[in-house]
Amino acid sequence: MDFKKLADVHKALANESRLKIVYKLYEKECSVTELTDYVELDQSTVSKHLSVLLNVGIVSNKKVKNLVFYSLQTPCIMDMFSCTIKVINGEDKPQKKCCKN
């Protein structure tokens, strides 16, 4: 297991605005302008957030004429959202297990 890459993905998601972007892209493909309106940040800030998500492979982009559209490259990332919500709500507590060193 590549823990460095795993940490990089978690770091990329460790930002409220980037989480909102990922959630919106799960719903549909969006332009930077649409994402800017959704997260209520300026375009340069949203572009920087998208760059972070692109670099770790969470989102992808395509250029259509003079617009760039972003989409969620790894929709399974939403499983992590679901798991995190369970942690927040105190659900799905693990059973006690013995650990061997």
Q: What is the pLDDT of residues 39-93, one digit of tens each?
A: 999 999 999 999 999 999 999 999 999 999 999 999 899 988 888 888 888 886 6
CATH of the domain at 65: 1.10.10.10
7 phi-psi bin (left φ>0, alpha ψ -120 to 50, beta other): alpha
Given this model, what pLDDT does residue 100 score?
A: 54
- Can you tell me the distance from the alpha carbon of 87 to that of 100, in angstroms, rounded to the nearest whole number? 25
Q: What is the pLDDT confidence band of residue 96, given thresholds at 50, 70 and 90?
A: low
Q: Is residue 96 part of a domain?
A: no
Domain count, the chain: 1
In a domain, 21, yes or no: yes
Phi, psi of 63 (to 5 degrees): -100, 130
Residue 63 or residue 100, greater confidence: 63
Residue 19 has pLDDT above 90, yes or no: yes
Q: Give the DSSP H or E segment for 21.
A: helix 16-27
Whether 88 is in a domain gets the answer no
Structure tokens at 61: 């982009």
Does 29 map to a domain?
A: yes
Q: How far apart are CA 48 and CA 40, in angstroms?
A: 14
Residue 67 lies in domain:
3-76
| Residues contacting residue 20 through CB under 8 Å, at least 6 positions apart | 38, 39
